[in-house]
């Protein structure tokens, strides 16, 4: 029997070494900690902001800045910032959690209900973020026990100090007592500012982060909790229509104005030469407040030095080094259109021919033009998924043209390649050029070209050297004047005898045929 406590203790040590966020332990003092009141300084701060302890709350976390914000809804129905807490430890890199064991702290929008609060946590107190949510499952992400807890140790969690998690837990507890069924936990890689978006514009996660910014814009513009839905593999944000499952919820004009302002600012920063970078951590980060050389800031002035006891700190050697900043170049650089070369060969009418457009890898053998019969007998193409939210298939008709019938397609225009980070990948389109106008009406161009040549020659007989058809008929009606015949088998001086087997044609026929445009 005496061995059981020892085995239990050893099992807890193993759990701590394998994953600091697997909060399966039990604390006998947990129930007492969970009943601690909100500090009086914080209650007084609420009063100055026209808030009460039982008003609803919303929490936001930022990895790069290592800060966690607690917002409260005031009497006017809008949320206002109550307090900001320094994050003692988070692990991994900037970016979402993808799979079990990657040490990534989650990024996204998570509802926290009363059942996710753990008053008996082995890490003082904690609440489970609810990862993976519907969005994470739709993207095939795995993992569990991702929490916000005390003790400065993290393997995919947001680790606060014991004092900080005690205060956050008490604020949340009172909000639940006031009738809030769940509060929203928003987790971001960094603050969604124009400066950060310009800096991280070429990061592999930028598309996901821009999706998160849509929810951040809603909250920051309206100071209302956004309703969150999942459409396919994307978040959608809005009001009641987003909560009802609409994939294209209405966007408030105030939110639209904020997004446009940020986009203009991002473009200006890029134009001024803001470099595209990526931060690489050894294993997450920590707020400077907890470093011995960092002075206490006004933001956390309520907690005077000496700094609180951090308890177990995970991987302190990884915290000693600052993150490495790596410059990221776009995968595809923009290619400019070639200018007209004045030295280029001129056409027959004296016009200068433009040079071809520059491509990264021009095709040496262009694809043959398909005929109507080949198109009709070919296997049907796979359906193309429209990337836009409104699901407009007509956009692809505009891109492909009426290739196999209907109105003739416009001649193909080479597109300029854009940076991969600034565009969303689209489905590849067949490089075959659309049919020219004449070929679409005549599936057999060779046969028709021969017929057209015969017709042109017949007309040319009637109209050459400035003669009109009437004059030509009169010329044919007059008998030819007899000429003195030479000796048999001899030719006139200066004339060549026609070669055997070749048809003798008038030279004006060749001139007329050469002036016809090729099909």
Q: Please give the positions annotated as active site.
A: 149, 157
Which one, of 239, 196, 193, lies nearest residue 216 by Cα?
A: 193
CA distance 10 to 28: 18
Using alpha carbons, select from 204, 183, 152 the residue that is nearest to residue 313: 152
Query: What is d(CA 346, CA 353) in angstroms, rounded to the nearest whole number?
Result: 6
CB burial of 445-458 (b: ≥16 within 10 Å; e: otherwise) equals: eeeeeeeeeeeeee
Report the alpha-carbon distance of residue 372 to residue 181 in Å, rounded. Answer: 63
Q: Which ranges of 227-307 does DSSP label H, i.e. alpha helix?
A: 240-243, 253-271
Smallest CA-to-CA distance from 66 within 288, 215, 270, 271 is with: 288
Dist. CA 414–CA 362, nearest whole Å: 11
Is residue 133 within 8 A of residue 293, CB to CB? The reply is no
- Dist CA 259 CA 216 (whole Å): 10
Separation between Cα atoms, residue 147 and residue 168, nearest integer Å: 13
CA distance 224 to 56: 11
Number of residues assigned to the chain: 519
Distances (CA, A) of 411 to 367, 430, 434, 440: 15, 15, 7, 13
Tokens representing 127 are 């609440």
DSSP strands (E only) in 283-374: 324-327
Helix (H, G, I), strand (E, B) or coil at 7: helix
User: Which bin fits 404, alpha (ψ -120 to 50), beta or left (φ > 0)?
Assistant: alpha
459: Cα within 13 Å, side-chain hemisphere: 9
Rounded to a whole number of angstroms, the distance between the first and last alpha carbons of the chain is 97
Partners of 58 in the β-ladder = 71, 184
The encoded tokens of residue 440 equal: 């679409």
Q: 220's torsion region: left (phi>0), alpha (psi -120 to 50) or beta?
A: alpha
């Amino acid at each position: 029997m005496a061995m059981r406590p020892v085995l239990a203790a050893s099992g807890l040590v193993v759990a701590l070494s394998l994953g600091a966020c697997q909060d399966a332990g039990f604390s006998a003092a947990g129930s007492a900690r969970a009943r601690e009141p909100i500090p009086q300084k914080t209650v007084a701060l609420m009063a100055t902001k026209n808030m009460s302890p039982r008003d609803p709350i919303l929490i936001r976390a930022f990895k790069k800045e290592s800060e966690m914000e607690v917002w409260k809804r005031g009497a006017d129905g809008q949320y206002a910032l109550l307090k900001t807490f320094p994050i003692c430890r988070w692990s991994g890199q900037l970016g979402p959690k993808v799979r079990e064991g990657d040490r990534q702290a989650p990024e996204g929008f998570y509802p926290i209900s009363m059942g996710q609060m753990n008053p008996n946590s082995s890490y003082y107190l904690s609440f489970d973020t609810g990862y993976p949510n519907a969005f994470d499952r739709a993207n095939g992400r795995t993992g569990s026990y991702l929490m916000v807890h005390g003790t400065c140790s993290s393997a995919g969690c947001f680790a606060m100090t014991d004092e900080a998690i005690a205060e956050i837990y008490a604020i949340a507890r009172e909000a639940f007592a006031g009738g809030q069924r769940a509060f929203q936990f928003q987790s971001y890689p960094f603050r969604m500012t124009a400066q950060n978006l310009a800096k991280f514009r070429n990061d592999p996660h930028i598309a996901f982060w821009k999706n998160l910014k849509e929810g951040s814009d809603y909250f920051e513009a309206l100071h209302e909790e956004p309703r969150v839905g999942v459409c396919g593999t994307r978040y959608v944000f809005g009001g009641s229509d987003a909560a009802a499952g609409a994939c294209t919820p209405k966007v408030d004009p105030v939110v639209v104005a904020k997004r446009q302002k940020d986009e203009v600012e991002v473009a200006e920063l890029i134009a001024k030469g803001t470099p595209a970078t990526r931060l690489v951590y050894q294993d997450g980060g920590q707020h400077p407040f907890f470093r011995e050389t960092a002075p206490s800031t006004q933001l956390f002035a309520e907690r005077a030095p000496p700094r609180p006891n951090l308890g177990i700190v995970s991987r302190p050697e990884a915290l000693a080094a600052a993150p490495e900043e790596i410059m990221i170049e776009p995968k595809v650089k923009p290619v400019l259109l070639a200018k007209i070369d004045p030295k280029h060969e001129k056409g027959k009418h004296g016009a200068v021919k433009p040079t071809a457009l520059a491509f990264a890898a021009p095709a040496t053998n262009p694809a043959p033009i398909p005929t109507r019969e080949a198109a009709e007998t070919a296997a049907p193409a796979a359906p193309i998924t429209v990337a836009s939210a409104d699901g407009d298939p007509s956009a692809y008709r505009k891109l492909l043209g009426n290739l196999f019938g209907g109105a003739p397609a416009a001649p193909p225009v080479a597109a300029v390649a854009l940076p991969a980070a600034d565009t969303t990948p689209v489905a590849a389109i067949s490089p075959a050029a659309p049919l020219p106008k004449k070929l679409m009406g005549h599936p057999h161009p060779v046969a028709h070209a021969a017929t057209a040549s015969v017709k042109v020659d017949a007309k040319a007989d009637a109209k050459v050297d400035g003669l009109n058809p009437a004059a030509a008929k009169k010329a044919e009606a007059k008998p030819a004047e007899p000429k003195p015949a030479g000796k048999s088998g001899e030719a006139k001086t200066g004339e060549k005898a026609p070669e055997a087997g070749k048809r003798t044609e008038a030279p004006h026929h060749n001139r007329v045929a050469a002036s016809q445009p090729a099909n």
